[in-house]
Amino acid sequence: MKYLIAVSVLMASLYANEDDFLRPVGKPPKAKPQMRQGGEAIPPLPLPATPLRRSEKKRPPSPATLIGKVIWGSYKDFKWENGQTTRVYDWNMIPGDCSSLLKKAHKLMKMDYKMQTSDLSTFNATPAEIPVLYFSGGRSLKFTEKNREVLRKYMMSGGMVWFDSTVGSPYFYKSALTELQKIISESPIKRLPDDHPVFHMIEDTNVVNVKSKKSVKPVLDGVYIGSRLAAVVSPFGLGVGWDNANPHLIKKANYYDHKSSIMLGLNLVAYSVGYFRVGQSHAKAEVFRKEDLQENTDPLIFAQIRTNGVWNTEPGAAGKLLRFMNKNINVKTSFLLRTIKLDKDKLEDYPFLYLSGNTDFRFTEKERAALRNYITNGGFLLINNSLGLKEFQSYCRKELKQIFPKYKLENIPLTHRKFNKG
């Protein structure tokens, strides 16, 4: 996170004024035609004596809302060479961005959704009513504490937030990262790896084009709640490509081309719809039955390792596992879940440790020494690559190599007793 913000600060320092990134996108408006009244008029036709029967088509039901385009910031008036003036709003530099994307989704994916405007000062919708909130712009975001509380509640309840630096503005990008870290302070912002599902939902998006460079990997930063992306930040403009617009007045504009932005946008739409139930599941608090809470002379404590990466990838999964064991294999287990730090807690108090993740992470030397001592003395470590991403797998292997340099990971044969019932 510190690296991402440092890079964005350096980028912002290269530009004189963030107002340079708030300008009209597209062609200047045409002058209004002058209307002159003629000297002759046609008299009105007489109405029929008997009303005519009209046959009207019924309107189809309105599609459900998927995206709430958030109103924020202020505006700036821009005067064109032809004398016309255009008022440009921070939140609505490209009025047709979301509607254009959803039209594509309807045409190509048969997913019929609509967008609506949303104001954080009065926002009280649930993720079930509006699954995605969309922020776009070129200048810096500045949320109030109340705004942050609203967004945190929304994301923790299963909602997803998209931050689109419409024209590649480093000011918007930096402010989005800063605000996100304040809103979800317990989850670090991570650059998404190229094998993340969000790049492969509808079409494999491994190579894209931005204005400044062709044939590059797509770039999105994200914040996880559990294994689900609760927010994504795009440092390059998406909405420009969705509406196939041309920000020719913004010299430093940097954005995905039309095809690339559509591919990324459709993947985001599919991800937000497909992972919506996951978000709702993660948002539910653990509810224990009376028998779950009974005293136990031999409790089993589920100890989960806390790292400097994304570690709580499946909220509630441990409790469900313990209840399953209690019900199906007659193992009386307490429902005491603990998160532990390798360098602070007494590891010998736990029969096994659980490590989960989907991003990079790093142990300190003290943590490595503690884990080495724990395993050497009979402890058991279970590692779960929550989303099956190469990045987490790579860092697990690196850490284990440093902890046990003389040993290597090997596949467990199917004949091993761990795969046998009983």
Six-digit token pair at 144? Answer: 């109030």
Q: Is the pLDDT of residue 179 over 80?
A: yes
Residue written as token pair 């009974």: 294
Spell out the domain ranges in the chain.
2-25+62-282, 291-419
Q: For 243-351, list the strands marked E by DSSP.
A: 302-305, 337-340
Query: Which amino acid type is present at position 44?
Result: P
- Assess whether pLDDT exceeds 50 at residue 295: no
End-to-end CA distance of the chain: 46
d(CA 241, CA 60): 29
Strands in 325-364 per DSSP E: 337-340, 352-357
Q: Torsion over CA of 38, 43, 48 and 52, rounded to 10 degrees?
A: 0
Contact 302, 296 (CB under 8 A): no
Sort 413 into a burial class: Cβ within 10 Å, 0-12 / 13-18 / 19+.
Answer: exposed
Query: Nearest 5°: phi and psi at 85?
Result: -120, 135
127-162: per-residue pLDDT in tens? Answer: 999 999 999 999 999 999 999 999 999 999 999 999
The domain 2-25+62-282 having CATH identifier 3.40.50.720: the answer here is: no
HSE at residue 273, side-chain half, CA atoms within 13 A, is 19
Q: What is the DSSP string of 98-145?
A: HHHHHHHHHHHH---EEEEEEETTT----TTT--EEEEEESS-----H
**Side chain identity at 354, as an amino acid letter?**
Y
Q: Percentage of the chain with pLDDT > 70?
A: 82
pLDDT at position 16 is 60
Helices (H) then strands (E): counts for the chain: 10, 15
Asked if residue 279 lies in contact with residue 230, where contact means CB atoms within 8 angstroms, the answer is yes
Instruction: Quick: pLDDT tens for 200-232.
Output: 999 999 999 999 999 999 999 999 998 899 999
Neighbour-count burial for 253-283, b at 16+ CB within 10 Å, e otherwise: bbbbebebbbbbbbbbbbbbbebbebbbbbb
Residue 287 is classified by DSSP as: -
| 34 compared with 256, residue with greater pLDDT | 256
Say which CATH class 291-419 falls into: alpha beta
Percent of the residues in the chain that have a pLDDT greater than 90, as a whole number:
66
Contact in structure between 258 and 244 (CB atoms under 8 Å): yes
For residue 261, which amino acid is it?
S
Of residues 198, 103, 205, the one with CA closest to residue 160: 198
Domain 2-25+62-282 matches domain 291-419 at the CATH topology level: yes
- Per-residue model confidence as pLDDT tens digits over 62-121: 899 999 999 999 999 999 888 899 999 999 999 999 999 999 999 999 999 999 999 999
Inter-helix orientation angle 97-109/258-274, to 10° = 70
* Whether pTM exceeds 0.85: no
Dist. CA 195–CA 204, nearest whole Å? 9
